[in-house]
Amino acid sequence: MKYNYKHFLSLAMMVLLLPSFASAGTYVRYEQGGKISWGELKGDLILELSDAPYLGGRETGNTVKPSIVRMLAPVDPKDVYMTAFNYKDHIPPANIKTTPYPGVFMVPAGTLIGPEDNIVHPSDSANIGYEAETVIVIGKRAKDVSVEDASDYIFGVTAGNDVSVRDWIDADIQWFRGKGAAGLNAVGPVLQTGLDYKNLTLTARLNGEVRQRGNTSNMIHNFDEMVSYISKYFVLNPGDIIWSGTIGTSEKLNVGDTYEIEIEGVGILKNEIVQGE
């Protein structure tokens, strides 16, 4: 078969139009003997990395079994961006309308917890609720990124539980405390690359019973739009995370409950709720 210049140009254009997802990899962040490390999970071993995978971390040659380390949240962001009312089935009927742009807010990065941590029910709250979400991790510095180029800046995906203190949210003039207090927001179990973040199914269970189920294809503002919108006003740095917003109905969590969030390709984030002091 004979090919000409126009044929190769057409093929090149097709490649450029394909989503630029990172190659498949399963990454974890863990603590052993007081040292926090990054690693790539392969089979029943963690291969230690010299740095975060999105910062070019390379294998050090050290390995460890997951069973003898404490798994941490597989993210280490400078900034954490969350999204409100980004699925139609989560919008209450009381005349709340969607906006032409994402309803973004921020919470402190230092208060995130991992897959082996307990969610802390604040002692001065009477009502906390689960919010299962898909979370993306930024792979490189992003400023004024177009929607079309946004996929180049998304490194991977993990799961998150945006536990919300309902009575604080009602009482405060903003959501900073009710959404971002220490011990609320769990992330994990792994940071997975190579997934189509535009079409991921999430299923969440309260004490084993399904309570939330949805797919990122139904987001009102998808992740590409959010990366573009946020980067118009702020600088996204490697490791920063963006949450999808939750799906369906958020119900109350009680001390002793266990909530688990499963995302295809990511695994299960499972945390127990304990009483805060």
Domain coordinates in residue numbering, the chain: 71-275
State the Cα–Cα distance between residues 123 and 117, nearest whole angstrom: 18
The rounded distance, in Å, linking the Cα atoms of 243 and 55 is: 21
Q: How confident is the model at residue 99 (pLDDT cuts 50, 70, 90)?
A: confident
- CA torsion 149→194→196→246, rounded to 10°? -100
Token representation of residue 167: 């009575």
Q: What is the pTM of this model?
A: 0.90
* Confidence band of 23 (pLDDT split at 50, 70, 90): confident
- In degrees, rounded to 5, the angle at the alpha carbon of residue 105 between the alpha carbons of residues 104 and 107 is 145
Q: Which CATH superfamily is domain 71-275 in?
A: Fumarylacetoacetase-like, C-terminal domain (3.90.850.10)
Q: What average pLDDT does this structure show over 61-82?
A: 98
pLDDT at 206: 98
**Cα 229 to Cα 54, 64, 134, 147, distances in angstroms:** 22, 40, 18, 8
- Residue 2 scores a pLDDT above 50: no
The string of pLDDT tens digits covering residues 228-266 is: 999 999 999 999 999 999 998 889 999 999 999 999 999
Residue 224 confidence (pLDDT) above 70 = yes
HSE, CB side, 13 Å, CA atoms: give it for residue 210: 8
Task: State which H helix or E strand residue 233 sits in.
Answer: helix 223-233
Q: Tokens 């990395």 sit at which residue?
A: 49
What are the structure tokens assigned to 151, written together?
Answer: 């996929």
Residue range 154-176, pLDDT digits in tens? 999 999 999 999 999 889 888 99
Residue 29 pLDDT more than 70? yes
d(CA 76, CA 62): 21
pLDDT band at 22 (very low <50, low <70, confident <90, very high): low
**Main-chain dihedrals φ then ψ at residue 177, nearest 5 degrees:** -75, -45
What would the pLDDT profile of 101-152 be if each residue is shown by its tens digit? 888 999 999 999 999 999 999 999 999 999 999 999 999 999 999 999 999 9
Please state, in angstroms and as integers, the Cα–Cα distance from residue 76 to each residue in 73, 110, 138, 225, 228, following that order.
8, 9, 11, 23, 21
Q: Does position 276 have pLDDT exceeding 60, yes or no?
A: yes
Q: Look up residue 239 and give its amino acid.
A: G
